Structure 1
């Protein structure tokens, strides 16, 4: 069975920060199930952040200068800073792996609400925008299927000409669409699951129109019907369909895809199961493509 390259190190999940500590459960579950090859990425050199966030905010977060250092909603500590730099190091390393293998995973969260001048929504620094900032000659498109709209990435898309942001969400969180950014609110309990599929069709049309060099998939577990923050209200089966759609989109177009696990506010083991289902969807998409290739039906 194919194992997806996945990136994680203990610094991602400091035990005294519950929102981050739960990443350990996902990493161990994926490893135990044999779904991923787990690798420890290097910590990010902070110099690679120069010019991404505004200088005053970046300096405040790196040094712990309050109140800006805790603006994202998690009280600042050296462990929170180091967790962020570890996850960002994983983000750049996973992007390289995705370009090499076609797919890679960063077992990380806390990126898409961070705006140029401040952190927000438990997101200190924007690791989605970082991918575009770090590779200005590459078109990077984010498919953000979190419960909450990617408002921070939307702000960065207006600044970075190679960054595109597509958000499908239940809670707007300030995300309204803008320059190279498209925002669609869907609440499945009210609008039906077909409306969600229609939104994915619209995202796919944007991929075809802009032909990114890298797709970045924010596979939010907080869209699940039992998540306390969920307004999207997807069932477990519908979440699998969502994930499968995005992975097939990338696989049939031969666009490298990096995915992150993003939000999830149920008990840690429940979130880990949903994250494992996302990885299973990736396996299914890649296996189906391999089967097509073996029968002469490979995507063109």
Structure 2
């Protein structure tokens, strides 16, 4: 059975003035259940992640300051909202959901996290609404436990996965691939193993052509596991995006990635990443399409 990580804390509301669009984390599973795409048996609630697993990817001083809520105001501003114990617990559970999802994917080919994709968190910093890097944590967990040998991270969020690139800059067994808006956040980019920077306004045809060209070349790395960050902030309707993809192209993007994984026999864990369209329905529809396409290809 295909498993999907979800927890009530995913939709944790932030203080007034710091309203991150968390509503989608409630609406995505509700929509999938309503349409009969999944049942409650597909959903699981992750427990908090152990500190020892966090420290495989993040420096101890940073983690302890995050855990103890002692980050400076400047560091909190970089994250984008004030810290709270509940917010840290939320992030820790999200990361555990991605670790659990990776383990499920090893057995069932694919697994999802309704949240996650916190790719701006580096080894010793949080940034852009990201406190801990869930897919980096899960990748290091697999490597540390000899559950995978060569891991490919496909990051198709509109923003570069700078934290992921920094964490794995010296790790030869992880290949980081980020295709993102060139002129978008973060304005100081890190160097992934492969970066494809797209001009503002890039539309369906060029985006999909770049993706189709890139994926076959990644096989030279010989991965045995894939993490996919499927942000829907690539949509034309996205407030923070600057690219111009239609929902149909976003869905085709997911199909290309999942078919690539299926054809190569690569298990894949999927985290949702960003989505900031004005209409919440656009965000939820696009994220739900990711689940539907993955289920169609792997079931």
The question of a shared fold, defined as TM-score above 0.5 by the shorter chain, is answered with yes
| CA–CA distance in structure 2, aligned partners of residues 200 and 237 of structure 1 | 15
Return the alpha-carbon distance in structure 2 between the equivalents of residues 147 and 224 of structure 1. 9
Aligned ranges 1:225-264 → 2 under 5 Å: 225-264=236-275
2:133 equivalent to 1:126: yes
Residue of 192, 198, 212 corresponding to 2:223: 212
Write the distance in 2 (CA, Å) between the matches of 1:76 and 1:110. 19
Deviation per residue, 1:152-179 (Å, 9 max, x gap)? 111112133322111111236233534x
> What's the CA shift for 1:89?
1.0
Cα distance in 2 for residues equivalent to 1:14 and 1:250? 33
Any conservation in 1 of the 2:3–2:104 contact (CA below 8 Å)?
A: yes
Task: Report the counterpart of residue 81 of structure 1 in structure 2.
Answer: 88
Q: Secondary structure at the match of 1:168?
A: strand
- Secondary structure in 2 aligned to 1:222? coil
- Where structure 2 has 5 or more consecutive residues not aligned to the other structure, the ranges are none
Alignment match, 1:276:
288
CA distance in 1, matches of 2:190, 2:244: 20
1:150 aligns with 2:155: no
Q: Deviations over 1:271-299 (max 9, x none)?
A: 11111111122133236xxxxxxxxxxxx
The more displaced of 99-108 and 158-167 is 158-167
| Contact residue 216 and residue 257 of structure 1 kept, 8 A | yes
Question: Cα deviation per residue 1:111-168 (whole Å; 9 max; x = unaligned)?
Answer: 1011111011111111121122212242221111111011111111213332211111
TM superposition score normalised by structure 1: 0.87
2:24 maps to 1:26: no
Distance 2:91 2:23 in 1: 13
CA contact (8 A) 1:187 1:233 kept: no
1:52 aligns with 2:63: no
Paired with 1:150 and 1:274, the residues of 2 have a C-alpha distance of 20
Does the 8 Å contact 1:166/1:203 carry over to 2? no
CA separation of 1:82/1:21 partners in 2, compared to 1, >3 Å: closer, same or farther?
Answer: farther
Q: Kindly indicate whether the alpha-carbon contact (under 8 Å) linking 1:61 and 1:69 is maintained by their aligned counterparts in 2.
A: no
CA displacement 1:31-74 (0-9 Å, x = unmatched) = 22232311112221222212421221111111100314564112
Secondary structure of 2:154's aligned partner? strand
Q: Distance in 2 between matches of 1:103 and 1:188?
A: 32
What TM-score comes out, normalization by structure 2 length?
0.87
Matched, 1:177 2:191: yes
Displaced runs of 4 or more, over 3 A: 68-71, 174-178, 187-190
Is residue 12 of structure 2 the alignment partner of residue 7 of structure 1? no
Going from structure 1 to structure 2, the CA distance change for 1:5 and 1:250 (only over 3 Å counts) comes to same
For 1:81 and 1:156, how far apart are their aligned partners in 2? 20
